[in-house]
Chains A and B, each alone.
Chain A
Amino acid sequence: MTSSGAQQATFDASVWENLPTDTGHFGTFGGRFVPETLMPALEEMADAYSRVKEDKEFNAELERLLKHYVGRPTPTYFAERLTDKLGGARIYFKREDLAHTGAHKINNAMGQGLLAKAMGKDRIIAETGAGQHGVAGATVCAMLDLECLIYMGEEDIRRQELNVFRMKILGAEVIPVSSGSRTLKDAINEAIRDWVTNVLNTFYIFGSVAGPHPYPMIVRDFQAVIGREAREQIIELTGRLPDLLVACVGGGSNAMGLFYEFVRDADVKMVGVEAGGTGINSGMHAATLTAGRPGVLHGARSYLLQDENGQVHEAHSISAGLDYPGVGPEHSYLMDSGRASYVARNDDDALRALGVLAREEGIIPALEPAHALAYVIDIAPSMSRDEIIVINLSGRGDKDMETVVDELGLRG
């Protein structure tokens, strides 16, 4: 539908490393498709971010909190039993599930929380799907003494009840969203409406590498710590770079966090795994890059699940964190330029993979990274023992136990 594929047919790292442009574009993707009311706030945020990015004190404080509060660096773990079982490539897990609050989301929430403080904003809003970003936001707000409102779809409130309790205990107000599909997409709409109304005193802590500029850049930069650590750790452990990086993609923040530091390493392949729901052909999925086409949602142009009239499709996934019909614009750019590729794995694949990891390694992953793991289970046997896969284990599975127990018929 667009000519973007043709224009960006080959990846050029020297072009990519200067992206996004000042106006937030990654080639034809990204930008700021928002009501005029928000444009000055986005400009103010981009300015403030470019100041703190170079500020020694800000960075020292962020580093201190990531180390002593979040628990970074998280380990990179060689999954020997899983590797032996699959009989192929050596599999390493970047253990973001061991970060405080149980997922990678805290890296970004901490960064944006400090940015909000630096900008003098004392009212925080955030959206959440799986609840991990909401919990991370509520955690940071408690720690930094900021008022916190979390928008969450009613459907997600139902299936991620544990995280709703956590947010409330942390002192955040959870606002149920009943419009549309009552999931992440609609929570973002409602959060943006709140921001349009309260923009003067409110900072919107956005959870993914999607949304209007500067969010895709800011969230990427705050999550890039994952890949920086992983690169150093895998070299220390194996003496070389990995052959393949794998991460799940909803909006795409954990994948971008892992990929970013490796993008210039042309020999490192990068695969993002989307949620295939009950199958791409069923139409009930969240495989935006695999099965969508470019469009505009939530302030950015990117791949999008939509009908022929440009109405946004509801996404479907067993995993609330992947249940999103859009995706970060930089992923669209990496795909169209050929630097990264994207596949989908279904609900059932993810459930099976979760069970495999639990039994082989004693780690219960969240359903989101279980999609990435499902792909690794398929691909690793065809690779050699000399090859190395790093997979981002972006979160732990506690929040999903209700869903998993029901799906696997383990109750009673």
Chain B
Amino acid sequence: MNRLSRIFERAAEEDRLVVSIFLTIGHPSVSESRELTLAAIESGAEIIELGVPFSDPLADGATIQASSYKALQQGVTMRDCLDVAAAVRRKSDAALLLMGYTNPFLAYGLENLVRDATEAGVDGLIVPDLPPDEAGEFERALQGCDLSMVYLVAPTTNESRLKTVASHADGFLYCVSLTGTTGGEQIGQGVGDFLARVRRETSIPLVVGFGISRPDHIASLRGKANGAIIGGRFVRLIEEASDDERLDAARSYVESMVEAASGR
């Protein structure tokens, strides 16, 4: 059983949601991204999405766009992201996913990526502009290795597409809570119905993202999903905190979300 499966199984046994944290590598710096990742894990996050910066992040709202831009200004590359993963892996058993857009992965070369990501202890990829319809090349490259290709479904996903995406699902399904980009402060209104619709198609773990910013958002997902992803809100916290307060602010924020995820 791979790391992601173990994490979801343990959480189910303990009747809690898995908390996943997204951050952009290199925002505000590569070394701080590493420290922030470790802090999030110490505070109870079990899946970390290491954001690979891209020049044209079209699924992202202003917050994550800006973080990506700042990271690129410092010359952050895929190699930096893999180095952060490797450093975190030496100290932690949390699941580590690379989240980024198609082109930087293609430019790195998929064979190189699979080799280096495996070596760094990465557990999978999330590529928001790569629906399964276009992912043949990625899926072939990932065959036979222990990297999951995580796909997204959205409230607009109709039943026929839901079947298609579910048939490719691997690790978990990333359920986009709303019709929109990242960075909102509210989850979608119809998320309960949406999750029920997805649940009818697949037994794979469902993890909700986009717009999750407060403990009550997470609490409202208990019993409906297996996990929650906090991205835009966490990136904004990193952006707004001063240098000497950043790690503490990250810790206490993640702790509050993990508590809510446990029903406490």
Contact = CB atoms under 8 A, between A and B. Distances in A.
A196 interface: yes
B187 interface: no
Contact of B102 (A185, A296, A308): A296
Interface of B: 54-61, 65, 69, 72, 77-78, 101-108, 128-131, 133-134, 151-158, 161, 165, 176, 179-181
A196 B59 contact: yes
Given A31-B134, A34-B129, A193-B58, 8 more contacts: A23-B133, A35-B152, A39-B161, A40-B161, A193-B60, A196-B59, A200-B179, A310-B54
B195 to A, nearest CB: 15
Given A193-B181, A199-B179, A309-B78, A35 B103 contact: no
A35 B56 contact: no
8 contacts: A34-B58, A36-B152, A193-B181, A197-B179, A296-B103, A297-B103, A299-B129, A309-B77
A306 interface: yes
A32 B131 contact: yes
Contact of A308 (B72, B107, B129, B158): B107
B79 to A, nearest CB: 9
Given A37-B176, A296-B129, A32 B134 contact: yes
Contacts of B105: 310
- Identify which of B60, B106, B108 gathers the most chain A CB atoms within 10 Å of its CB: B106
A119 B152 CA distance: 26
Contacts of A197: 179-181
Contact of A180 (B56, B59, B129, B130): B56
A38 B72 CA distance: 27
Contact of A33 (B55, B130, B152): B130
Contacts of B57: 189
Contacts of A198: 179
B77 A35 contact: no
A109 interface: no
Given A193-B181, A196-B181, A309-B104, A40 B156 contact: yes
A179 interface: yes
A311 B106 CA distance: 11
Contacts of A196: 58-59, 179-181
A41 interface: yes
Contacts of A175: none
B102 A199 contact: no
A189 B64 CA distance: 14
Counting contact residues on chain A (CB < 8 A from B), the size range is 35 or more
* A-B pairs with lowest CB-CB distance, top 8: A310-B107, A310-B104, A37-B154, A197-B180, A310-B103, A35-B59, A296-B102, A311-B55
Given A33-B134, A35-B59, A296 B181 contact: no
Contact of B56 (A36, A39, A308, A312): A312
Contact of A36 (B61, B78, B154): B154
Contacts, number: 117
A200 B180 CA distance: 11
A35 B129 contact: yes
Interface string A37-60: 111110100000000000000000
Interface in A345-380: none
Interface string A190-232: 0011001111100000000000000000000000000000000
A304 interface: yes
Nearest to A34: B129
A121 interface: no
A101 to B, nearest CB: 28
Contacts of B161: 36, 39-40, 43
A310 B106 contact: yes
A295 B103 contact: yes
A192 B129 CA distance: 12
Contacts of B129: 33-35, 296, 299
A297 B106 CA distance: 12
A35 B154 contact: yes
Contact of B133 (A32, A199, A309): A32
A304 to B, nearest CB: 7
B159 to A, nearest CB: 10
A197 B131 CA distance: 18
A334 B77 CA distance: 33
B181 to A, nearest CB: 5
Contacts of B153: 36
A157 B158 CA distance: 38
Nearest to B62: A179
A200 B156 CA distance: 8
Nearest to A293: B107
Nearest to A38: B156
Nearest to A189: B58
A309 B151 contact: no
A298 interface: yes
Given A308-B107, A310-B104, A35 B58 contact: yes
Contacts of A306: 103, 107
A37 B129 CA distance: 10
B106 A37 contact: no
Nearest to A299: B129
Contacts of B103: 295-297, 304, 306, 310-312
A23 B136 CA distance: 13
B57 to A, nearest CB: 8
A240 B152 CA distance: 54
A139 B108 CA distance: 44
Given A297-B103, A306-B103, A312-B103, A37 B56 contact: no
A310 B55 CA distance: 9
B150 to A, nearest CB: 12
Contacts of B134: 31-33
B142 to A, nearest CB: 17
Contacts of A193: 58-61, 181
Contacts of B58: 34-35, 189, 192-193, 196, 298
B64 to A, nearest CB: 11
Contacts of A295: 103, 106-107
Contacts of A312: 55-56, 103
